[in-house]
């Protein structure tokens, strides 16, 4: 109960505290725990349990706050918003098809400012370790007419523009910013496919994210066949959602 109460107390605060405050909470929890350990034989059992719960709550509140503070420190630098960046990283989840292209999670390993194709690479920059990118679909006259298939675990090098996550603030509506925070995503953006940018390059297939790769293989086996019977064409989106949890194949 102390652990749950400590976490609940921290997450209901309107803002994060300073690191010194969380360090003080942790020291208080340790001091209280040491005092309880020393006086446990003399104090009543109910008092001992109450003080243990209080110490656990303080420690949990300090841990939750410190972790959130460290996560917040990885946020995207505002100076990098809207800038062309060259990112190297790994597809970290099953890509999700959308009417305008493909959305996917990208675990960034290296980032630098993107220059012209003929120019030298830009200087390295620091971006959040996990971002959500959109790969626009093919457009008439675009040099990248055929979009390369993306698979979890693949290492790619691509050009992108990023921005801090934000969503609508409608009352009782879906909080996109909070949902991305819970998912560990601290920046969103899109892949740049213009003529001035270097083309995206698939570098290698790694052994990371095997479960996401298996989910994509199952989804493609269910949804991809184009010569299926009409009844199956209507049902396969629901089947894919039930099997792998992907609802994007369900028609309107």
Q: Express each pLDDT in 7-65 by its tens digit.
A: 999 989 999 999 999 999 999 999 988 888 887 777 777 878 888 899 999 999 999 99
pLDDT tens-digit map of 113-170: 886 654 556 789 999 999 999 998 744 344 443 455 789 999 999 999 999 998 887 8
As a whole number of angstroms, the distance between CA 211 and CA 120 comes to: 38
Q: What is the CA radius of gyration of the chain?
A: 24
Q: What is the pLDDT of residue 140?
A: 39
Strand partners, 108: 89
Q: What is the C-alpha end-to-end distance of the chain, expressed in Å?
A: 45
pLDDT of residue 209: 93
With contact defined as beta carbons under 8 Å apart, do 237 and 250 qualify? yes
Q: With 0-12 CB in 10 A as exposed, 13-18 as middle and 19+ as buried, what is 69?
A: middle
pLDDT tens for each residue of 86-118: 999 999 999 987 777 889 999 999 999 886 654
Give one word for 228, left, alpha or beta, with left for phi > 0 and alpha for psi -120 to 50.
beta
């Amino acid at each position: 109960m102390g652990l749950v109460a400590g976490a609940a107390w921290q997450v209901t605060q309107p803002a994060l505290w300073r690191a010194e405050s969380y360090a003080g909470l942790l020291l208080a929890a340790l001091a209280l725990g040491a005092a309880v350990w020393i006086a446990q034989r003399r104090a009543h059992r109910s008092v001992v349990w109450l003080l243990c719960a209080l110490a656990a709550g303080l420690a949990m509140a300090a841990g939750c706050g410190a972790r959130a503070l460290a996560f917040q420190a990885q946020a995207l630098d505002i100076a990098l918003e809207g800038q062309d960046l060259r990112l190297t990283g790994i597809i970290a989840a099953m890509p999700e098809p959308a009417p305008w292209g493909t959305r996917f999670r990208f675990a960034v390993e290296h980032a630098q400012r993107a220059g012209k194709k003929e120019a030298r690479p830009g200087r390295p920059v620091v971006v959040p370790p996990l971002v959500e990118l959109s790969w626009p679909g093919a457009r008439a006259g675009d040099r990248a007419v055929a979009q390369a298939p993306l698979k979890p675990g693949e290492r790619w090098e691509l050009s992108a523009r990023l921005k801090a996550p934000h969503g609508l603030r409608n009352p009782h509506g879906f909080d996109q910013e909070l949902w991305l925070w819970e998912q560990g995503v601290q920046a969103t953006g899109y892949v740049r496919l213009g003529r001035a940018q270097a083309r995206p390059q698939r570098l290698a297939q790694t052994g990371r994210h095997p479960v996401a790769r298996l989910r994509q293989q199952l989804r493609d086996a269910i949804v991809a066949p184009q010569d299926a019977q009409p009844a199956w064409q209507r049902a396969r989106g629901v089947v894919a959602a039930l099997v792998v949890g992907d609802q994007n194949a369900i028609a309107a």
